[in-house]
Amino acid sequence: MLVAVSALARPARAQGADVIRGRVVDPDSNPVANVQVSATSISGNVTRMASTGRDGRFTITFPNGDGDYMVAFNH
């Protein structure tokens, strides 16, 4: 299955957190549920995980974010 992904990391400055949000869709732009999404901070090597919902959306928060992340998907 080919999966298209859109993800954004947006710093939440007031809390000092980085929030990564995105949506996983199939080639026909239908949302894909139950995809495991992991984000690993580059400098701290900390990994956090989330699963997509029925709408294909996910959110991962790093409370003390450093801004650079590697994101991986597993279905």
Task: Please tell me which residue, 55 or 66, carries the higher pLDDT value.
Answer: 55
Query: How confident is the model at residue 5, as a pLDDT?
Result: 55
pLDDT in tens, 4-54: 555 555 554 555 899 999 999 999 999 999 999 999 999 889 999 999 999
The pTM assigned to this predicted structure is: 0.79
Distance from C-alpha of 24 to C-alpha of 41, rounded to nearest angstrom = 20
Query: How confident is the model at residue 32, as a pLDDT?
Result: 97
Q: Is 37 exposed, middle or buried (0-12, 13-18, 19+ CB in 10 A)?
A: buried
With a cut of 90, say whether residue 67 has pLDDT above it.
Answer: no
